[in-house]
Structure 1
Amino acid sequence: MKEEKLIQKWLDGELSPEEKRELEQFEAFKDYQKIDAAAQYFKAPKFDAATTYTNIQAQKEKENTRTNWLANISKIAAVLIIGFLAYTFLFQDSLTEVSTQIATSENISLPDNSQVNVNAASYFAFNENQWKQKREVQLKGEAYFKVAKGEKFTVVTPLGNVSVKGTQFNVKQRNNIFVVSCYEGLVEVTTAKDTILLPAGKEYRKINGSSLVENISAQTPSWIAGESNFTSTPLKEVFNELERQYNIKVHLKNLTFDADRTFTGSFVHNNLQQALKAITIPFNLTYKIEGSSVSIIKSE
């Protein structure tokens, strides 16, 4: 109330020096001066102090409204930020991710004691907080699963999903290759075009869009024992796997053969020379090793 009286007296030109100094201490005084200056341009026969005072009050209410609006926006933003951080903490931070390096593998124990062996240069992830509600993992690469009995267990890959309730199986997803091998029990393989029930001793393969199911005799995937095995696999993918297992770079030098030609066979993970011979000899090729670089050339 005192501020309003001082403003009224200031507009009427009746302020004492002491009262003027007191008014100048108020935070909004500069705004009052601006409004007063603008009022000088009003086309009126004489200065209307009451109107000017009304304008000042309106400006104050406008500033208060703007301040309240900003305060409300700040509160809303704070709630959204807290909610986002809570979501991130509860869900995103609970995502366990494993990325294996070239020439390495890793064993993982899941919350239900299911066991996973992840092959070289692969990505594997699962959400521990949601595990009781949904047994689901993500895979890019290759992994061997020993799943504990329970509710449905799903492996999600870019090329298809594999679902089981408790069994042993291997999943390989590399580029356009998707291979599922069942060693125990029954698994369901789902892709964009196929839904297959795969019993033990069967393998589903989809390579470059073509799929088939064949018998297998192995009890576990060969890579677990240090050997990569292939059936009608493009030679390019065989060399890609060689790079993953030996941490090398393969260069195909002046070759005229079809790079998509398929390979059936295997190579070991502990002897590069032997592995290269196993791949190159069937195609009348040879190789040259220079540090971590291997050149594949045609035999003389």
Structure 2
Amino acid sequence: MLISNNSYVAPESFILNGIPGLEKVHKWISLPLCAMYIISLVGNLGLVYLIRSEESLHHPMYFFLAMLSIIDFFTCTTTLPNALCIFWFNLKEINFSGCLVQMFFVHGFTGVESGVLMLMALDRYVAICYPLRYATIFTNPVIAKSGLATFLRGVMLMIPFPSLVKRLPFCQSDIISHTYCDHMSVVKLSCASIKVNVIYGLMAALLVGVFDICCISVSYTMILRAVVSLSSADARQKAFSTCTARISAIIITYVPAFFTFFTHRFGGHTVPPSLHIIVANLYLLLPPTLNPIVYGLKTKQIRDSVIHLFHGKKCP
């Protein structure tokens, strides 16, 4: 590390060390990750194409689903190719600026994804609890503005992360025990106090993750109350089926995310580093892989549209 006039110069690069302790099986670990990445690319791009091309899917709930698929595509693409290069070709070096850019996009896209899941929960709340007002509430301009607001919130809250890291002196190791530049993994290499980084990270998590999960929880509580009160068994089954896909997507997204967040800050030495890094990768890869499958299996309109697209038959 270069030092001039008692001030620290930013490191030229970091070394991403992959999964410590499992270096001998990196190639075997890469196989399921690569398969999941391919599935996520095909699934999410296919879902976006399907929603765009099928007029029967030109409704607010599917527009939000298309937003989720686009975000999922970029989220896994931000980290997985880099991880595969580490596993396959031992290309571990990443320059300092590239590390900051990757950090911004990783946290930015995950923040936007959380917001889109919240919008999808609100969409189902209005559709089930206020069906007669649904078309007037979720108009195309409202969908566009809410999507833009969610994107800007995720981006604006994550902009300080690279700046907070850039101000830190890195005079110790340049080896990051991870497959990508996660904020906490990078700042832990600093030889200065990281209190500001930790506090801002907690604030960002509260403003994004905790706020969104509270809104989602309230929405689905109200939805379940409304569904239980329906007199028709068919209507209850249809509403439950619609909600099941979204609840599954929420569990897939938030459980690994909160595990990663809390183990970084409070797990200490109780969680093996290899387990933490594997879960951190799954946290970015599992939702993009499973969301298209979950929505495809649980949503009748999507299944019918796939049949229509491939066989040219009019959906019933």
Q: As a proportion of its length, which structure holds more helix?
A: 2
TM-score range, shorter chain: under 0.3
Q: As a proportion of its length, which structure holds more strand?
A: 1
Q: TM-score, normalised by structure 2?
A: 0.24
Q: TM-score, normalised by structure 1?
A: 0.25
Identify the structure with bigger relative contact order (alpha carbons < 8 Å, sequence gap 6+).
Answer: 2
